[in-house]
Amino acid sequence: MSMGKAKIVLLGSDALFREKAADALKGLERERQLYVVESIDEAMACLEESNPDVLICDHSPDGSDFFVLLEKMCTSSSDAQIIVLSYGMDSVLITEAMDYGVAYYADRSRPSDELLPILVDKVDSLVDIRRLKLEAEMTEYRLQTLVEVADKRKAPFHELTHFVLERMVEITGSKIGYIATVDEGEGIMNMFAWSQAGMKECKTHDKPLFYKLDETGLWGEPVRQGRPIVINDYAQETELQKGVPKGHVKMTRFMAIPIMNGDRVVATCGVANKDGEYNERDVRHLSLMMNNLGEMYDLANKDIVLHEAEKRYEGILRNIPVAVAVLDADGVLVDSNELFMNIDGGTLKRNMALDSAEGIITEMRTLFDECRERRVKVTKLLNHNDGQHGDSYWRATVSPVWDNRYRFNGAMLVMDDITNEYESMKLLERTAHQLRTVEQITHHDITNQLQALGGYIEIMTDMDVPETIKKMISRMGNSVDTITDQMRFSRTYQSLGVQKPLWLDISQEVKKAISDTHGIKMETDIDGIQIYADISLNKVFFNLFENSMRHGGDVTRVEIKREHQEDGSLLIVYTDDGKGVPESQKQNIFNKGVGKNTGLGMFLIKEILSMTDIIITETGEEGRGVRFEINVPPGKHRIRPDSV
């Protein structure tokens, strides 16, 4: 079989042997491309960049350099066949080398005139083995592609076309590819699809969508001649070539075939810039894939499909409660419903061009031009004032329409009047801004007054006053503390859900919440765990710990650990060794206003967690401490990525 040049990497520290081996590998009939290197790093670079067939490693007597290379190869994408040359036939070394996948092991101590012919013969043998393996894998891949194409017969034509295009580039070993539909009656080629790599490489800013068939060179030959065209030396100019635009992808090799529907060419596809030469096998596989595509999507019958689609949308167009219009490829108004015709005071007429209108329709023309240029749907919010009804707001969408040859044939315009929605949203935004401003001012002023009042109460506490007055002062202080807690709660509660939840590290949130344990022993088993929660998650642990300190009695130990459940959920369990929660209070502990102080701490915990469907319950035994179970559902917890 013809395989092209064999690629070989020769690594060795002995310069004389490298020279002899290189001469032997270059001096015979078969073409070989040899990379001679002196270090492991150079060898790895060749393996990654050139994808060689064979690696020959002439390593030092202790073998250390070779096994370093083997370990690096295990983590690379190279599947090169490996030949080891070593002084002596150490059975242990041979066994270890074979375990790494070494294909051949030879005694380096043999005379060069004996060793090198054997080495060259073995290299050719391993190259053939590798090429046969690759060819078998590619054949299997081609067959699998044909099966997948058959499975996609009901997919949209453009989706199937791009799928086949990317596969044919990959299967032929090409760098770029394209599919063009053909209208022989009009003498036009429409470049319907480019491969992703081709679009990235092409620097042509003004890419034409259509080509006149009689002005194309090689690209049009499969259509004109009705047969495959193969050029394996594109630099060698022929009478068929007519050049390419400035900035276009540089061509080195080229292959294209016609796609037939009966005896008529309906499309053509091509690939380019394969490393090796295109051959009959490439033509055969490409033709098979494209004929299959043509059989499933009979381009000659697309007129029927479009006619049926036109009948379906006719009824929708007349009854849909939004303004809809159809434009041709030049931006002329072909059809519309009454809502669109009256959008600008009834000034629109059928068969008029959008660029001859004024006001909001002028902006629609700009959107149409963008849609035609980019060949994608575009959407924009438009503001319009007709001079009679004041400002109105429209959500405008322009979608491309294709003809039966998959050429740009116009656009569908949809305009939805969202004036009421827009004004309501603006009103909500203004109201929210006003509320935030009032809250900030009020919160700031009340906080200042509470601080002043607290200072006066502290001074009064030290005054020599009757006991009844001292009790009143104490109650005043408690009231100030309660109001302060309520202000703090209101500030926290109003911020819940304002920002999108984040993946938060539980261990870090605990440290943020509990910076001072007040002598209580803290034990945790939550390192490396993240949960998807509101950014106020640290306040959950702050309030749990504060609850232990305020109501737990003589708490000496707090533990926070994790328990993975069979259903995929995660339990974060908070426990202490305090007096626990009475059974009668368990059902109401998370209700607002329940508790000895403000009754807001437990309520806030539940609200924060519920933002991402996390549930908290208290399951401890009275007299043996609290046990709060935080149940995080599947998909809302994960191992921290950097700890895996």
Q: Are 119 and 106 a contacting pair, CB within 8 Å?
A: yes
- Taking only the tens place, the pLDDT of each residue in 83-120 is 888 776 667 777 777 777 787 887 777 887 888 888 88
Residue spans of the domains in the chain: they are 6-139, 152-301, 318-416, 423-494, 502-643
Equal fold, 6-139 vs 152-301: no
Question: What does the angle CA 493 – CA 496 – CA 497 come to, to the nearest 5 degrees?
Answer: 155
Helix 280-296 to helix 112-151 angle, to the nearest 10 degrees? 10
**What is the bridge-based pairing of β-strands 104-107 and 81-86?**
parallel
Determine which of 204-218, 310-324, 616-630 has the lowest per-residue pLDDT on average: 204-218
Question: What does the angle CA 443 – CA 436 – CA 611 come to, to the nearest 5 degrees?
Answer: 100
Mean pLDDT of 377-390: 75
Can you name the CATH fold of 152-301? Beta-Lactamase (3.30.450)
CA distances from 277 to 143, 254, 525, 621 (A): 22, 9, 61, 79
Helix 157-171 to helix 112-151 angle, to the nearest 10 degrees? 170
pLDDT of residue 436: 63
CA distances from 54 to 127, 209, 460 (A): 7, 45, 92
Taken in order 483, 484, 489, 495, the sign of the CA dihedral is positive
More confident residue, 63 or 365: 365
**What is the bridge-based pairing of β-strands 557-564 and 521-525?**
parallel
Write the burial class of residue 179 (CB in 10 Å: 0-12 exposed, 13-18 middle, 19+ buried). Answer: buried
Determine which of 16-30, 169-183, 218-232 has the lowest per-residue pLDDT on average: 16-30
3-state SS of 45-71?
HHHHHHCCCEEEEECCCCCHHHHHHHH
3-state helix vs strand vs coil in the chain, percent to 5: 45, 25, 35
Among candidates 264, 256, 258, which has minimal Cα distance to 301? 264
Measured CA to CA, the distance from residue 367 to residue 543 in angstroms comes to 54
Measured CA to CA, the distance from residue 594 to residue 317 in angstroms comes to 59
Q: Residues, the chain, total? A: 644
Q: Are 344 and 357 a contacting pair, CB within 8 Å?
A: yes
Write the burial class of residue 430 (CB in 10 Å: 0-12 exposed, 13-18 middle, 19+ buried). Answer: exposed
Adjacent-strand bridge partners of 230: 255
Class for domain 318-416, per CATH?
alpha beta
What does R_g of the chain's alpha carbons equal in angstroms? 38
pLDDT of residue 525: 92
- Taking only the tens place, the pLDDT of each residue in 429-448 is 777 666 666 666 666 667 77
Residue 546 in tokens? 């504060």
Q: How many CB atoms lie within 10 A of CB 525?
A: 13
Measured CA to CA, the distance from residue 396 to residue 388 in angstroms comes to 21
pLDDT of residue 314: 65
Residue found by looking up tokens 């079989």 in the block? 1
Among candidates 582, 581, 592, which has minimal Cα distance to 628? 581
SS3 call for 464? coil
586 — pLDDT class (breaks 50, 70, 90)? confident
> Can you identify the CATH homologous superfamily of domain 6-139?
Response regulator (3.40.50.2300)
Instruction: For residue 101, give the DSSP letter.
Output: T
CATH number of 502-643: 3.30.565.10
Percent of the chain at pLDDT > 90 equals 12
Q: Are 289 and 179 a contacting pair, CB within 8 Å?
A: no
Measured CA to CA, the distance from residue 138 to residue 625 in angstroms comes to 66
Q: Are 6 and 127 a contacting pair, CB within 8 Å?
A: yes
Measured CA to CA, the distance from residue 321 to residue 340 in angstroms comes to 10
Among candidates 92, 269, 91, which has minimal Cα distance to 167? 269
- Taking only the tens place, the pLDDT of each residue in 475-514 is 887 777 777 776 666 666 566 666 788 999 999 999 998 9
Residue found by looking up tokens 């309906």 in the block? 266
pLDDT of residue 310: 63
Residues 6+ apart with CB under 8 A from 576: 520, 548, 552, 555, 557, 558, 559, 625, 626
For the ranges 262-276, 451-465, 492-506, the one whose mean pLDDT is highest: 262-276
Number of C-alpha atoms within 13 angstroms, CB side, residue 363?
17
